[in-house]
Amino acid sequence: MSEAQSVADTPGIAKELTAFQQNILTILAEEPRYGLAIKRELESYYDSEVNHGRLYPNLDELVEMGLVEKSELDKRTNQYALTDEGYEAVLDQLGWMFSRIDSETTVF
C-alpha cells in the first residue's frame, strides 16, 4: 500500500485474501457449490487445471475465516456456501475496485 493510501481506502477482510480466494468467493456468490463444481469454474476462468492441493486448503482457510460454510451433502461430498461475512467480503472487494475506476476516462 502506498503512503498516499489510508487503511480506510482498502476493503475490509477482502484485503487479507489472495486473488484465488477472492475468485472462490465470487463463484460462491452465485450459489452454493460442491468442491468439484468450484474446481471446474476456476479451471474455466484460469483456462488451466486447478489441483486439489490448491483448492481444498484455500476452501478450508475461507471456512476458518468464517467467510464460507462447509456442509456435508453425503459421506463423500461437501457443499460450500458463502456466509454473510463472505458476501460482504465480495461486496467490499468490488466496491474497492469500482472506486478506483475513473468513469470519465474509462471506456467499456
pLDDT tens-place string over residues 85-97? 999 999 999 888 8
Query: Which helix (DSSP H) or strand (DSSP E) does residue 28 occupy?
Result: helix 19-30
Averaged pLDDT for residues 56-64: 98
pLDDT number for residue 73: 86
Tell me which CATH code domain 14-96 carries. 1.10.10.10
Which residue ranges make up each domain of the chain?
14-96
The count of C-alpha atoms lying within 13 angstroms of the C-alpha of 4, restricted to the half-sphere facing its C-beta, is 0
Higher-scoring residue by pLDDT: 10, 53:
53
CA distance 54 to 19: 13
